[in-house]
């Protein structure tokens, strides 16, 4: 059964689940990736990746952030990871798509994100292309 709002991945042979939504909905104790620096709880973020609404992140900073999240998931697979921007759709979907590719999701990583997290994750054509063109490592 698919639970919307969660992204299942396998990292280092272990099943992990990533949550997303607005960053301000970060669950207590979660490892946080904040894409919206205007979020009230941005100070709680373990990873900050400033990205304009409907925009694209800096590619170098994104690769670094994805690597940090993968290392965290390998170190503490039981600790929740929460990714968020203002609404938890476009920028969050883009980041999740790149993370899914880096985690080795076969085929279309964005389709995986849309099937499990949100059907309209990554809102713009540029965001979709960014995920499609993302390479890891």
Quick one: pLDDT at residue 1?
Answer: 44
- Cβ(99)–Cβ(136) under 8 Å? no
Contact 131, 91 (CB under 8 A): no
Of the candidates 100, 115, 97, 95, the residue with the CA atom closest to the CA atom of residue 55: 95
**Bridge partner list, 10:** 15
Distance CA 118, CA 56 (A): 19
Q: How far is CA 131 from CA 29, 46, 127, in A?
A: 28, 22, 6
List 84's β-bridge partners, or say none.
21, 34
Domain at 7-129: CATH code: 3.90.190.10
pTM above 0.85, yes or no: yes
pLDDT in tens, the chain (137 residues): 454 689 999 999 999 989 999 999 999 999 999 999 999 999 999 999 999 999 999 999 999 999 999 999 999 999 999 999 999 999 999 999 999 999 999 999 999 999 999 999 999 999 999 999 999 99
Report the pLDDT value the prediction gives residue 117, as an integer from 0 to 100.
96
Distance (Å, rounded) from C-alpha 58 to C-alpha 75? Answer: 26
Give the pLDDT score at 118.
Answer: 95
User: What pLDDT score was predicted for residue 5?
Assistant: 83
Strand partners, 31: 81
């Amino acid at each position: 059964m698919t639970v919307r709002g969660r992204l299942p991945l396998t990292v280092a042979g272990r099943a992990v689940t990533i949550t997303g939504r607005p960053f301000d909905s970060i669950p207590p104790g979660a490892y946080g990736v904040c894409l919206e620096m205007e979020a009230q709880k941005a100070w709680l973020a373990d990873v900050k990746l400033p990205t304009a609404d409907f925009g694209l992140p800096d590619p170098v900073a994104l690769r670094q952030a994805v690597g940090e999240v993968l290392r965290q998931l390998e170190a503490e697979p039981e600790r929740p990871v929460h990714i968020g921007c203002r609404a938890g759709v476009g920028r969050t979907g883009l980041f999740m798509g790149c993370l899914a590719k880096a985690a080795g999701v076969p085929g279309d990583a964005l389709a995986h994100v849309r099937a499990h997290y949100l059907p309209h994750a990554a809102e713009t054509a540029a965001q979709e292309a960014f995920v499609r063109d993302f390479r890891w490592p």
